Amino acid sequence: MRKELFGVFDDYDGLTALRDPDSFDRICSSDSLSVGIRDSDLGAPHRSAAYEDETGCCVIWGEVYLPESVSRPARWVLDRYRSEGRSGLSALNGSYLVAIATEGTAAVYTDPIRSWECFYTDRADSRVFGTDAARVCRMSSKLSIDPDSLLELAHLSVVLDDRTLFEDVSRTPFDGVLRPNSVERLDRFVYRPREFDYAGELAARLERALTRRTTLRGTKGLLLGAGYDSRTLLAGIPEIECCYTVGSEDSSEVRVAKKLAAQYDATHQTLGVDGSYFTTDIDTVRYTNGIGESIHIHQRGIEEVADTDVMYHGWAIDSLLKEFFVQKKRVGAFGKSVKLSSLATQPDALSFLTRKKLGIMPDSPTLLAECASVSEPEEILEARLEDELERCRARCTRSHDLPSVFGIKNLPSKSFRMHLFDQFTESFICADSELIDWHLSTPPEYRSTETFLAAIQQLDSNILRYRPPDRPRTSSVVNQIEGFLRRNLPLTAFDPPWPDRRSLYSTYDLDRTLLPQSPALHPCSVRLKLRVHDVETWLAALADETVLTPEEIVCPPDSKRVLLRETASP
């Protein structure tokens, strides 16, 4: 990757014994912590920063907003940490990791929603950590595949909690801290609902969050869909010059996106879709870090056509500022269920997530049943989900919030913004601390599309001039009914917002391209086959480095090489 944070809980010699110092733009070190960072935005306003002195060091990774008077952010954070301890980090606002050491204390902190992953492994002499899972994996003398993690990735699209595909490599906990010999979970992301003007306050906070992000240096672009989320940035950041939409020129998604771009005086480019959309190689799959699926990197190839420095997007707005993970009441209509605006009377987080929100592939348990340690895959998956929900429960005051904690903690689509961050100056508005506080303070019945639409119309009364093509009516229920009728009667169905996976996969005969040596997988669902290809590609690239040989990537002795059994060893 172009950008990377890599560190070790050791001194400078401990770091340079593992990595070439010339591979980083800057190294900061102390007796207990040494961190190398490679980032073209290092030192730019609101971006990665580094500082060290005779008693400590601080490296900030990502996007951070501090009081306007702060000119040297890493030094300012280190000084506050010395005087106030962990509470000194409370002024940080944005999407970040902070590696910090002073007076013999060393730690790596995530932001409240762990918007960046920090992977780590323990060597004989010290703990190693970094943002690139492959780099961290290569620091381990032996890697054993965790069959349960593999099961989760194949079946659910993401490895849950703090684990990875390997038993020997983990992740810093959600809303947590990594230390030299331990990890700690914090309590910044905890629901504390209260009464206030939900739409009005969201509008005010959105306006401030957007204004903060207008000051990023360079020409500005936006990944624009026809829905509600990304148009919010288009309306709130007048400096956006060009918009990019994935799809075909004749799709309704692109047509509406073009109208939105013109409405706000921006140019527009369409990111066309062909067989290469799924022909993912390590240049794409590396951004999954082996814990998610690459299908979320819809914008692959944008770096070849986008003439822009800064890239904005509306990722996670549906999860943090709307109702994606809120279980609503449903009633039967036309043999289907229609979602209402009120909350479910008896919320069932497990049923809600498995039926509606997770990328579950029904054929994956059968595929994985050959693994000796996964003799009952469906039962194991249910147990893993229940365990993860139980871990999330302490952050909730109401059971309706449980799916939201689960979903935000385990978002499988982080690869989307990791790719953008590596290619551009990327900005993630939903990590703004004011918006996270709004999410945690707002009862679930008001974290809704209705509240969000009321808020963004306060930003711009004309923001809904061009409605999303699949939601032409103001009533959510009417839109759902119309969508059902269009799918089941001789009417023109709404275009999906993303390219049709099945037709693309078939049109370009990707079984032959992606899985030529695995004919037994060909009858499986397209998305499952893409996950298999992701895992194979990532493991093969990992094993191809001189630090590791293929023989060093092994499954536990009581299991088989699941998913890879019909292909050449990676």
Backbone Cα Rg of the chain: 23
Tokens describing residue 273: 């879709």
pLDDT tens digits for 471-490? Answer: 766 777 666 665 666 666 65
pLDDT tens-digit series, residues 98-149: 999 998 799 999 999 999 999 999 999 999 999 999 999 999 988 899 988 9
Query: Which fold is adopted by the domain 4-140+168-185?
Result: Glutamine Phosphoribosylpyrophosphate, subunit 1, domain 1 (3.60.20)
Whether pTM > 0.85 for this model: the answer is yes
For residue 569, give every residue at least 6 positions away whose Cβ sits within 8 Å of its Cβ, in sequence order, or none. 550, 561
Q: How many CB atoms lie within 10 A of CB 547?
A: 15
Residues shown for the chain: 570
Asked if 239 and 220 count as a contact pair (C-beta separation under 8 A), the reply is yes
pLDDT in tens, 37-78: 999 999 999 999 999 999 999 999 999 999 989 999 999 999
Residue 409 clears pLDDT 50, i.e. is over it: yes
Secondary structure of the chain: what % helix, strand, coil (to 5)?
A: 40, 20, 40
Q: Which CATH superfamily is domain 198-322+412-501 in?
A: HUPs (3.40.50.620)
Are 4-140+168-185 and 198-322+412-501 in the same CATH fold? no
For the chain, the farthest-separated pair of C-alpha atoms sits apart, in whole angstroms, at: 74
Is the Cβ–Cβ distance between 66 and 212 less than 8 Å?
A: no
Please determine, for residue 563, whether its predicted confidence score (pLDDT) is greater than 50.
Answer: no
Among candidate residues 515, 555, 508, 554, the one with its CA nearest the CA of residue 537: 515
Element (DSSP H or E) covering residue 119: strand 119-122
Distance (Å, rounded) from C-alpha 301 to C-alpha 312? 16
Q: Please write the tens of the pLDDT for every residue from 11-30.
A: 999 999 999 999 999 999 99
**Is 568 buried (19+), middle (13-18) or exposed (0-12) by CB count in 10 A?**
exposed
Domain ranges of the chain: 4-140+168-185, 198-322+412-501, 328-409
